[in-house]
Amino acid sequence: MTEFIIVPGIGGSGKAHWQTHWQQADPAMQRFNPASWDAPDFDDWMAALDVAVGLAKTPPVLVGHSLGCLLVVHWQRISTREISGALLVAVPDPASPAFPSSARAFADAPQQRLRFPSLIVASTNDPYGSLDYVGAKSERWGSDLHIAGPLGHINGDSGLGDWPAGMELLAAFLRQTQAIARGAVRQP
């Protein structure tokens, strides 16, 4: 059975957020647990994610949203723990005027290719990250890119509920990562 680690951004993805719906519906989805969701401390969040990955019985799939996406990219550079892949939804641009000053420590994300398969899901009208920015990150990180249409920041305010289209993207991504792990498909 595949394990998943939910990696929310600031605020921890509240009751209306699709990450919360997914976690409530599937016991294989666990949330990493930093000391504070509202005051993101870079070192604490990195350590909390590393602990969560370490507790998984098999290499998990990380499901990141917003600041959680930048966390995943920083984490993969310093941790040696294995994961199966990462779904990165609504990657924020630290240069955006909307990017919170409390999260500046997460800003300088690594530019090299990620060491695992990844899929970035972006909105055409995300106030935290333009398509140009997300497209450039997708290229640098070696991530597949899916443009989901005008969904805002793809969060609780987007009114997606349990976001069935996102779950379909995750299922397709999971099939792809499993094929890569079996050697049936080569990672680009």
Instruction: Order across the sheet with 29-31: list the strands.
Output: 29-31, 4-7, 61-65, 85-89, 118-122, 144-147
DSSP assignment of 57-85 equals SSPPEEEEETHHHHHHHHHHHH-----SE
- Per DSSP, 153 falls in state T
Give yes or no for a contact between 37 and 10, defined as CB atoms under 8 angstroms apart: yes
pLDDT at 34: 98
Q: How far apart are CA 26 and CA 22, in angstroms?
A: 6
- Please give the pLDDT value at position 186: 57
Q: Tokens representing 99? A: 């990017």
Give yes or no for a contact between 52 and 33, defined as CB atoms under 8 angstroms apart.
yes
Q: What is the mean pLDDT of each run of 10 residues along the chain (188 residues)?
A: 95 96 96 96 98 97 98 97 97 95 94 96 97 97 97 95 96 89 64
- What sign does the CA torsion over 179, 140, 101, 161 have? negative
Whether residue 152 contacts residue 158, with contact meaning beta carbons closer than 8 Å, is answered with yes
| Angle, CA 12 vertex, CA 110 and CA 142 arms, to 5° | 25
pTM of the model: 0.95
At 88 the three-state DSSP class reads strand
Write the CA distances from 1 to 33, 111, 184, integer angstroms: 22, 32, 19
Domains by residue range for the chain, with CATH: 4-182 (3.40.50.1820)
Query: What is the C-alpha radius of gyration for the chain, rounded to an integer number of angstroms?
Result: 15
Angle of CA points 5, 120, 116, to nearest 5°: 60
